[in-house]
Copies of this chain bind each other. A is one copy, B any other.
């Protein structure tokens, strides 16, 4: 009965659907659908191709269909919508929360979007259009516009009456923004406070003045991270004149943070950010998301060919140097990637700020020297095993220098990127690695020339 177990082994919807297709027997599929919660059904649908998912979806009864639909990612929602008859289509779209609807429409092809908007009541259409009017990535795109706001002049009993009347349509009633007659935000009061206090208390005595809040045009990621810091479950959103326009709820905030983190991880591995389900994506789709960066990095790697070419005579005079090329640039790349990842993360969560640039350089340079010193001991041993002591010394010295250099570059690039208003995650580990590869080779061959006297 534990939900967690259900997630582990729900591999039979697809099989039970075979019965529907092959022998028109729906009972196995219906039984499966009846016995799994909406998010597990949604997860199964996301793994299926469009046709199969469409068949399964049409087996759901109305309420469950909506619950499952809301659990799906926007891309999967569109796929389902395209296969539905008009009546079901309209019911689904009407049942969605305004912010979820806006998010789906944002990415839908124009044809679907038009059909969705046409199926809405004038009120819903207005609300959805308003959300879509906010810039991409802004809080306005993610907030819930249906909010129960209360005047600060009421008693608790009157405030609870307003909550009862208006609460049904609101996504949350746990955070109640307090507004003045011009709907300007004055503070917030928690439903908890209203319930725990006597009915005659005045709302004004319970209100938190100067609450954390954001503007609808602010970055959604910043707003979400602010909520994480303040541990609020809802954050009031105001327009440019401080009038309340919505609430950012914690589930949407977490989604924003997770999307931003996944994007950072993808970029740091040199892929374009990717929102779909891994198992549902086609081979060419996956390749497309990786191709651009891989190509750019390959072109950038031409530098390493030039550098090695430039030192060709050095290499001819001491052919054994070639043996350690992969090991040395590998070590440099790893040291650089460690530093880059640590700093991208620190910048993203706000631990490191623009003004810390020189502190970070100094810090990573010393960390790199410490690590390089340790590695050089191992390097000397490995060098001693494979080649003579002279080349081993070259390897040892190079490791110290390459680690210090790589950590400094890796730690600095994300901050420099931030200063130049480039996304720090784009200056990703593979980019640092490729840069360090080329410069590392210069360090290696120069050290070799000096030590070996060639």
Using a CB–CB distance below 8 Å, which chain A residues touch chain B?
1-4, 7, 11, 37, 39, 43, 46-47, 71, 160, 163-164, 167-168, 172-174, 191-192, 195-196, 210, 212-215, 218, 222-223, 226, 228-231, 233, 250-251, 254, 257-258, 261-262, 265-266, 268-271, 274, 277-279, 283-284, 286-287, 290-291, 293-295, 297-299, 301-302, 304-306, 308-309, 312, 315-316, 319, 322-327, 329-331, 333-335, 337-338, 340-343, 345-346, 350-353, 355-356, 359, 363, 366-367, 370-371, 374-375, 378-379, 382, 386, 403, 429-430, 433-434, 437-438, 441
Contacts and interface: CB of A to CB of B under 8 A. Distances in A.
A47 to B, nearest CB: 8
Contacts of A164: 195-196
B265 A363 contact: no
B2 A213 contact: yes
Contacts of A351: 46-47, 277-279
Contacts of A213: 2-3
Nearest to A160: B195
Given A2-B213, A270-B337, A375-B294, A330 B195 contact: no
Contacts of A218: 4
Contact of A382 (B261, B279, B305): B305
A274 B323 contact: no
Given A283-B367, A287-B370, A355-B11, A215 B294 contact: no
Given A3-B226, A164-B196, A228-B254, A308 B326 contact: yes
B160 A173 contact: no
A283 B366 contact: yes
Q: Which of A309, A329, A340 has the most CB of B within 10 A?
A: A329
Given A269-B429, A323-B309, A325-B326, A210 B1 contact: yes
28 contacts: A2-B215, A4-B222, A37-B230, A71-B229, A174-B192, A191-B191, A233-B250, A250-B251, A258-B261, A265-B341, A269-B340, A274-B342, A279-B346, A283-B366, A283-B370, A286-B363, A293-B334, A294-B334, A295-B374, A297-B331, A298-B382, A304-B327, A304-B330, A305-B326, A305-B382, A325-B326, A333-B333, A334-B433
Given A11-B355, A308-B326, A375-B295, A196 B214 contact: no
B173 A195 contact: yes
A298 B331 contact: yes
A346 B286 CA distance: 13
Nearest to A382: B302
